[in-house]
């Protein structure tokens, strides 16, 4: 970029696509890496943390960035795929600098960092942080109404200190358009302290979605740092099978205390799942598939399938059962597949188009049996029925994959290829 390039605020770079010179997307920006310097000198921007297709986070040096404009980053095309590892002298700009409380040198007043700006130095390929966008006030409602201003980096102090109680509102704002799995990947690479601060800033539903994508040890870590009442609320917002998996990792006393704090209906579903062995259909299933009565119509079924909070696997079929229509249901009659719903008139009764050829599984079916069923019948979900013929739940392919992949698949970039070279 030429000298006099425009100043760029880093919050605008979160999630921005990174392209090579041929226009092929390399990945997306997840953070920026800076090195603090002594004497109030602006930090040097070392590079970008880029998440590539395999969800590996790699380091892209700023010397290989040829353009930052129009919502995209252009590189030279030479990308080292080695996993990014933060060094002691480095700071993550989005993860560690936003939301910090720092001090204005001119007045001694504490302010909150809302954003930081970077700029390329004239006639060079070096970049540095040159401006800080801050808000006056001590938090809460006052913080929202406080004056905002942009100051030079040298006008504030406090970035070199490990801050207790650092907020996370502005970092969380950069997650707004990200999928839960991508937010989980960001949290996974933060420090435990910062991870807890971000978790506290997320609302219950969003945190529940993100927790479901984290390794179990980090789920336990985050849950343990929440107040018990909020921990129970987050568990209620999680899918029952994921909540059961998480609670099974806790000591018995902690598990029982949280179940007692949950709403009785939600706790009942989780307790039922906890009664099954982990690697069985009962232990893998969710208790919230789409259940319809025989007199429901195709229009009714499509309305249920359209619900935004359903996973694609659960939305791929509906289960027709006699009342009651919440698990455990009355007699299970069969399955109606989404494609069949699209082929029949809206007024058609679902009882007239059920697929009765596919046998359901028993709750004690083993993981290999569940996997074989999905593969043999080309299904993304399988109904689980007890001896009396009542539908207990459904096992989806995503839950099966979680148990088939190695425990550390999120950390090892399963199937990703290593490219030789050093950072």
Q: Which residues of the chain have pLDDT under 50?
A: 1-3, 140-143, 414-422
Identify whether the C-beta of residue 182 lies closer than 8 Å to the C-beta of residue 54: no
409-419 pLDDT per residue, tens: 666 554 444 43
pLDDT score at 88: 77
Contacts by residues 242-251 (CB-CB < 8 Å, ≥ 24 positions apart):
242/211, 242/212, 243/270, 244/270, 244/273, 244/274, 244/283, 245/216, 245/278, 246/211, 246/216, 246/219, 246/220, 247/274, 248/274, 248/278, 249/216, 249/219, 249/220, 250/220, 250/223
pLDDT score at 330: 95
pLDDT score at 19: 93
Identify whether the C-beta of residue 390 lies closer than 8 Å to the C-beta of residue 330: yes
């Amino acid at each position: 970029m030429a000298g006099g390039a425009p100043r760029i605020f880093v919050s605008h770079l979160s999630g921005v696509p990174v392209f090579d010179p041929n226009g092929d997307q390399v990945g997306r920006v997840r953070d920026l890496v800076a090195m603090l310097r002594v004497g109030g000198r602006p930090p040097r921007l070392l590079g970008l943390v880029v998440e590539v297709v395999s969800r590996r986070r790699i380091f892209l040096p700023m010397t290989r960035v040829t353009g930052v404009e129009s919502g995209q980053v252009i590189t030279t095309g030479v990308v080292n795929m080695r996993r990014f590892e933060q060094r002691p002298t480095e700071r993550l700009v989005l993860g560690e600098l936003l939301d910090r409380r720092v001090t204005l040198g001119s007045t001694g007043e504490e302010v909150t960092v809302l954003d930081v700006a970077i700029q390329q130095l004239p006639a060079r390929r070096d970049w540095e942080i040159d401006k800080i966008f801050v808000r006056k006030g001590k938090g809460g409602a006052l913080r929202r109404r406080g004056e905002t201003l942009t100051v030079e980096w040298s006008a504030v102090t406090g970035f070199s200190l490990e801050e207790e109680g650092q907020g996370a509102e502005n970092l969380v704002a950069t997650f707004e358009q990200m999928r839960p799995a991508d937010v989980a990947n960001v949290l996974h690479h933060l420090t435990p302290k910062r991870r807890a601060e971000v978790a506290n800033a997320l609302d219950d539903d969003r945190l529940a979605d993100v927790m479901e994508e984290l390794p179990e040890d980090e789920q336990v870590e985050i849950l343990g740092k929440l107040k018990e009442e909020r921990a129970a609320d987050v568990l209620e917002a999680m899918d029952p099978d994921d909540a059961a998996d998480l609670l099974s990792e806790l000591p018995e006393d902690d598990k029982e205390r949280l179940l007692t704090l949950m709403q009785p209906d939600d706790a009942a579903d989780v307790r039922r799942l906890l009664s099954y062995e982990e690697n069985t259909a009962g232990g893998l299933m969710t208790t919230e598939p789409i259940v319809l009565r025989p007199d429901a119509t195709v229009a009714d079924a499509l309305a249920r399938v359209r619900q935004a909070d359903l996973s694609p696997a659960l939305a791929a079929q509906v289960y027709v059962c006699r009342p009651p229509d919440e698990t455990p249901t009355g007699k299970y009659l069969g399955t109606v597949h989404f494609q069949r719903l699209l082929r029949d008139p809206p007024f058609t009764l679902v009882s007239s188009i059920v697929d009765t050829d596919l046998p359901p599984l028993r709750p004690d079916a083993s993981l290999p049996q569940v996997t074989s069923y999905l593969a043999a019948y080309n299904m993304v979900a399988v109904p689980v029925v007890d001896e009396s013929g009542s539908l207990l739940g459904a096992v989806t392919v995503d839950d099966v994959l979680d148990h088939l992949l190695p425990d550390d698949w999120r950390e090892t970039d399963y199937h990703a290829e290593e490219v030789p070279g050093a950072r």
